[in-house]
Structure 1
């Protein structure tokens, strides 16, 4: 975290440093800080699917499912074959009790990443 903050201090417009700061905070369970870092990364570089996906995971962790859906969809819009985003979107739908939409994501995911598709399917039909 300190290293990324140092980079940001030197270059406050470094979107990648904010992205990695968000990742570090997320791994530390500092979800509010992760959200703020990812939001800043997206503000600086709005077309970066990695930052959108990180923000989506953060929202999912915080139980902000609708925001997570929006960010996973933005990730997929920017990078249609992003298996992690399809998996995350499917999981978010499951947490919301929407098995039908989760199954739609499974059907897309099975053509991208069979392992993640099977993991999602196993959660849809445990």
Structure 2
């Protein structure tokens, strides 16, 4: 099991759909032995931006979505391309056991949101 999948107690809710990381969250970009580890630092605030109309399908507080959301937000904040961040978001969802159709829907949403 990786540092990513085994981490527990790494974030806390701070209101609404916002959370704060309590510990560093480490993600191996590309594949687990790629040698490149992206870190969401402790103390980082992130949100799980699921439109209200879709929250009956995708609960923004589902723990399977939290790490992927933190990873995606941090990648965007540090200048990663939207589609690249979306691809890593998709892989993080897979690592946390999110099903294929849910991953596809969420990947499409984050990859195309504000598409320019």
**TM-score band, normalised by the shorter chain?**
0.3 to 0.5
Q: TM-score, with normalisation over the residues of structure 1?
A: 0.34
More helix by share: 1
More strand by share: 2
Q: Which has the larger radius of gyration?
A: 1
**RCO higher in 1 or 2 (8 Å CA, sep ≥ 6)?**
2
Q: TM-score, with normalisation over the residues of structure 2?
A: 0.36
